[in-house]
Amino acid sequence: MEISVLQELRYAYRPKLPASLSQDIAGIGVEYGEPTESISDHEALRGLFKHTYGKPIVTFNRGRNPGIGHKLKAGVILSGGQAPGGHNVIAGLFDGLKKGNPESVLYGFLGGPSGLIGNKAVEITASMMDGYRNTGGFDMIGSGRTKIETPEQFASSLETATKLGLSAVVIIGGDDSNTNAALLAEYFLDRGSPIQVIGCPKTIDGDLKNELIEISFGFDTAVKTYSELIGNIERDANSAKKYWHFIKLMGRSASHIALECALQTRPNICLISEEVEAKKLSLKQIVDSLCDSIARRAANKENFGVVLIPEGLVEFIPEMKTLIEELNDIMAANEGEFAKVEKESFREIVAWLARKLSGPSESLFLSLPEEIAKQLLADRDPHGNVQVSRIETEKLLIGMVEKELEKRAAAGSYRGKFSALGHFFGYEGRCAFPSNFDADYCYSLGFSAFVLTAAGLTGYLSSVRNLSAPAEQWIAGGVPLTMMMNMEHRHGSQKPVIRKALVDLEGEPFKVFAQNRDAWALTTGYRYPGAIQYFGPPEIADITTATLRLEHR
Ligand code: FBP
């Protein structure tokens, strides 16, 4: 296969490691902190995680580590949506294992967690690895969203890992996949197996974070890719001066991606789902405020603009949230019946649902355009989440804004032209060549996962902190998975899960956005970040996100 010049040059890129990991491998010491607690629901979680609850945080420092040279066999899984840098996590893990002992072996499970359940694995060789270093995508071994949940799936996972003689399984995934990692670590110990389970924080959504996990990998590259595209659209809008661009951005429930892109590109409007929820804004109020901004710009003869919409917005509009929750419960409790109805016409589904929904939800559901209503009924993912990437919120808002502006025009309160285009940026950013930040961060996460494995730890998430400093000063270690957990209502019952980090309305990134947005709404003050730079001075090639810089200010 012919490869691009950039791909060839990226193969040769040497990711930077924190000083604690770049030293002589036998000199990586492991420091243990105090026992930890979960975020909440301590008793319930202590009961569910009898063997793994409350472990200490670990940090790697200079020291001695005799165990690091043992021959190890590990298996790695890419789980969930693609995120730039996944291959480098595998590279860091692979290089760590081989540096520790050249006879150590790394297997890659094919197609995500189902590869572990069904024993579909390949041994990762040096030449195979070299073909994927510093590249985007998960195509090296593939990914999947299978959730390990039934007793049979847990048992087959253990059977596979035992058959392959593994000492550890490394799961590279988001909050749901790492919840699964925590459950698997507990299950293995409960069955008397010493096989360890280590997680790595992956997701472009940026919602797997806390004090010790500063950001999940992939966020940096994805937001830079989207910001480049948004900047290009802004320049087009400002050149042609005839379109309003409504851009939906991936990110699932959290608005971190939209917020970061707004800080980078200064659009006229950026909705933040967490604020919509806090202010209990209805769909009508959101549409009214969009129309107010559009009308103000029209009064300045600026009949163009850019609106950023977080993918998960609909889940945060109170009346929509209630509707979605009711639909989730109905769909979970009536799977068989629903599948039958699904085959029928949409009218029949509506009639069937109408009997089960509450009054307000029923009228809201009936008021939605048919396409949107259908999208709300699309299958949930294996973790029970609505697939918000499939809901065309940008189209819903354009339609509602058009109607409202027509009304205002008829009443004489709006004089302007409104011509809107909808976009959805999501998949475009998930497999980009990882930025230098993501290439370095991912490699360090993989290497840390190896050190956690060599230290005999289980139920930990690989962690690399102090990320706004140069890579040499990053702090590597591990965080116990149970420390990030609480109990939540899922699929109709209470389940242990890693808590998603949504946008903090008291945090610096949101505050900076809120201080500036009125000016951005009225004047055309777009900022054009341009493409990710892979080579050049560190101030452009190694720069990270505004979110990370502001959070560390
Ligand atoms: P993860 O949480 O698994 O990292 O996935 C993130 C994401 O890209 C979301 O932003 C998006 O809503 C979803 O995946 C889309 O899922 P799919 O790839 O199954 O269409």
The 10s digit of each residue's pLDDT in 17-49 is 999 999 889 899 999 999 999 999 999 999 999
What is the distance in A from the centroid of ligand 1 to the CA of 409?
40
* Ligand 1 atom closest to residue 175's alpha carbon, by position in its atom list: 2
Q: In whole angstroms, what is the distance from residue 435 CA to residue 227 CA?
A: 13
Ligand 1 within 6 A of CB of 81: yes
Ligand 1 proximity of 84 Cβ (cutoff 6 Å): no
Q: Is 82 a pocket residue for ligand 1 (Cβ < 6 Å)?
A: no
Mutation pick for ligand 1 pocket among 177, 225, 250, 381 (CB with most ligand atoms within 8 Å): 250
Give the pair of three-digit tokens for residue 244.
């309003």
Atom of ligand 1 nearest to the CA of 207: 2
The string over 214-247, giving b where at least 16 C-beta atoms fall within 10 Å of a residue's C-beta and e elsewhere, is bbbbbbbbbbbbbbbbbbebbeebeeeeebbbbb
Q: How far is the CA of 100 from the centre of ligand 1 (A)?
A: 34
Q: Are strands 196-201 and 121-123 parallel, antiparallel or unpaired?
A: unpaired
- Closest-CA residue, ligand 1 atom 8, reads 81
Q: What is the largest CA-CA distance in the chain?
A: 80
In the CATH hierarchy, which fold is given to the domain comprising 26-218+434-490? Rossmann fold (3.40.50)
What spacing in Å lies between the alpha carbon of 81 and ligand 1's midpoint? 4
> Atom 14 in ligand 1: which residue has the minimum CA distance?
81
Strands 121-123 and 105-109: antiparallel
Residue range 276-282: average pLDDT? 97
Beta bridge partners of 489: 494
For helices 283-299 and 508-522, the axis angle rounded to 10 degrees is 50
Local confidence band at 344 (pLDDT 50, 70, 90 cut-offs): low
Radius of gyration of the chain (CA): 24
Q: Partners of 60 in the beta sheet?
A: 30
List 462's β-bridge partners, or say none: 478
Which is nearest to 186 in space by CA: 45, 80, 383?
A: 45
482: amino acid identity, one letter: T
SS3 (DSSP) at 32: strand
Q: 251 CB under 6 A from ligand 1?
A: yes
Q: What's the mean pLDDT in 494-511?
A: 96
Query: pTM of the full predicted structure?
Result: 0.95
Enter the tokens of residue 119.
């024993």
Contact between 342 and 379 under an 8 Å Cβ cutoff? The reply is no
Protein residue with its CA nearest to atom 7 in ligand 1: 81
What pLDDT was estimated at residue 20? 94
Q: Is the pLDDT of residue 426 over 70?
A: yes
Q: Check if 80 has its Cβ closer than 6 Å to any atom of ligand 1.
A: yes
Residue nearest to atom 12 of ligand 1 (CA): 252
Give the pLDDT confidence score for residue 335 in this predicted structure.
73
State how far Cα 66 lies from the chain centre: 36
What are 478's two structure tokens? 């591990």
Catalytically annotated residues: 205
Provide the pLDDT for residue 374: 85
Tally helices (H) and strands (E) across the chain.
Answer: 23, 16
Any idea which residue has 């189902």 for tokens?
114
Helix (H) or strand (E) holding 264: helix 256-265
Verify whether ligand 1 is closer than 6 Å to residue 389 (CB atom): yes
The rounded Å distance from CA 529 to ligand 1 centre is 25
| Degrees to nearest 5, angle at CA 257 with 384 and 4 | 100
pLDDT of residue 341: 64
Distance from C-alpha of 193 to C-alpha of 186, rounded to nearest angstrom: 10
The ligand 1 atom nearest the CA atom of 83: 4
At residue 483 the predicted structure's pLDDT band, cuts being 50, 70 and 90, is very high
Where in the chain are the domains? 26-218+434-490, 219-282+298-308+412-430+501-553
**Cα-based torsion angle of the residue sequence 125, 129, 130, 131 in order, rounded to the nearest 10 degrees:** 110
Name the residue at shortest CA distance from atom 18 of ligand 1: 81
What distance in Å separates the CA atoms of residue 141 and residue 78, rounded to the nearest whole number? 8
How does residue 66 score in pLDDT terms, banded at 50, 70 and 90?
A: confident
CB 180 less than 6 A from any atom of ligand 1? no
**Distance, CA of 473 to CA of 32 (rounded, Å):** 19
* Strand 420-425 versus strand 269-270 pairing type: unpaired
- Residue 72: which pLDDT band, with cuts at 50, 70 and 90? very high
Ligand 1 centroid from CA 92, angstroms:
24
For residue 311 and ligand 1, the question of a CB distance below 6 A is answered with yes
Q: Which of 147, 177, 389 to mutate to test the pocket of ligand 1 (most atoms within 8 A of CB)?
A: 389
Tell me what percent of the residues of the chain surpass a pLDDT of 90: 84
- Report whether pLDDT(186) > 70: yes
Q: What is the pLDDT of residues 373-382, one digit of tens each?
A: 888 888 777 7
In total, the chain counts a number of residues equal to 553
For ligand 1, what atom is nearest to the CA of residue 82? 4
Q: Distance between CA 341 and CA 232 in Å, rounded?
A: 44
Q: Taking the CB of residue 99, how many other CB atoms lie within 10 A of it?
A: 16
**Contacts of residue 226, Cβ cutoff 8 Å, sequence gap at least 6:** 249, 257, 261, 425, 428, 429
Q: Which residues contact 26 (CB under 8 A, 6 or more apart)?
A: 64, 65, 66, 68, 69
CATH code for the structural domain at 219-282+298-308+412-430+501-553? 3.40.50.460
- C-alpha dist (Å) from residue 546 to 224, 269, 342: 11, 18, 44
66 or 11, which is more confident: 11
CA of 423 to the centre of ligand 1 (A): 17
The Cα–Cα gap between 328 and 339 comes to 14
Atom of ligand 1 nearest to the CA of 389: 12
Query: With bands split at pLDDT 50, 70 and 90, how would you rate the model's confidence at 178?
Result: very high
The rounded distance, in Å, linking the Cα atoms of 314 and 416 is 28
